[in-house]
Amino acid sequence: MSEKFDKLVNIVKRLRAPNGCPWDRKQTLYSLKQNVIEEVFEFIDALDRKDIENIKEELGDMLLHVVFHSIIAEEDSLFSIDDVLDGISEKLIRRHPHVFGNVKVNGVDDVLKNWDEIKLKEKKEKPKHYLNDIPRGLPPMERAYKLQKKASKVGFDWSSSDKCFKKVKEEFEELYDAHKNKDEGAIKHEIGDMFFALINYSRLSNIDSSEALREASLRFEERFNCVEDKLKEENKALTESDLNEMEQLWQICKQKN
């Protein structure tokens, strides 16, 4: 295992060397943010498809970014890959005192409670506000969920999904009013509130809102592909069809999935 990891490290160092790859040499610690995000979503896509070979490949791509960033940081005398490995090992031991220490827990809830308490103690600089440690760079849906979840830990939450659903209906009515008034600014505002309320309702209903949206997108893709396939059977392209014909085919495809 160590030899294989060392091989990867040496390959990346070779790519960064003076006689290495111009593209790899050009990168900085901050230039690959979008690449990292794309790799994570490609990994999620592979998980959704239960594509084991692709899961393995995407894990390798993410590992590459860990090594790549660490080597760049080492070149800039910031930290090394050893520092990264030491840091995560120490963190795992520190945050699992019920495994590596003498702390007793009674299930997952206790584990999560201890984790949050230990994490808070680790903060070198206490956030100005309670929600400040929720990264603003998270995808909007995930960040909304985390904000709601953390607020709920101090009692700021709906008492039931039924009461939250009333809020969803209220936000929809406000969106409808904005739509009727053709108020673009208000429409944007109310769409945001509508999404936020739906995520809240999903959370209280124990439904992963991101997963629900991914499944809805997949259904749309599969049905649209089905429409395209049926048009091809008639030697027609999508651009040669009209909305009425595609809608009829859509309803047929909808019955299949």
Question: 40-62: per-residue pLDDT in tens?
Answer: 989 988 998 899 999 999 999 99
In a domain, 128, yes or no: no
Are 152 and 197 in the same domain? yes
List the domain range (segments joined by +) for residue 192.
Answer: 140-207
Maximum Cα–Cα distance across the chain:
71
Percent of the chain clearing pLDDT 90 (strictly above): 76
Are 203 and 243 in the same domain? no
**What pLDDT score was predicted for residue 49?**
86
Are 149 and 200 in the same domain? yes
Q: From start to end of the chain, where are the E strands?
A: none
Q: 1 pLDDT exceeds 60?
A: no
In a domain, 18, yes or no: yes
Please measure the distance between the N-terminal and C-terminal CA atoms of the chain and give it in whole angstroms: 44
**What pLDDT score was predicted for residue 26?**
96
Buried b (16+ CB within 10 A) or exposed e, 51-79: eeeeeeebeeeeeeeebbbbbbbbeeeee
Domain limit, last residue, from 171, 190, 207? 207
The count of domains in the chain is 4
Are 105 and 165 in the same domain? no
In a domain, 127, yes or no: no
Q: 82 pLDDT exceeds 80?
A: yes
Question: 102-144: per-residue pLDDT in tens?
Answer: 888 888 888 888 887 887 777 766 778 889 888 888 889 999 9
**What pLDDT score was predicted for residue 106?**
87
- Dig out the tokens for 8 from the structure: 């990867």
pTM of the model: 0.65
Q: What is the mean pLDDT of residues 21-38?
A: 93
- 114 versus 195: the higher-pLDDT residue is 195
**What pLDDT score was predicted for residue 124?**
67
Closest CA to 24 of 68, 66, 74, 75: 68
Closest CA to 153 of 120, 121, 116, 195: 116
In a domain, 191, yes or no: yes
DSSP 37-94: HHHHHHHHHHHHTT-HHHHHHHHHHHHHHHHHHHHHHHHTTS--HHHHHHHHHHHHHH
**Cα 6–Cα 8–Cα 10 angle in degrees, nearest 5:** 70
At residue 189 the predicted structure's pLDDT band, cuts being 50, 70 and 90, is very high
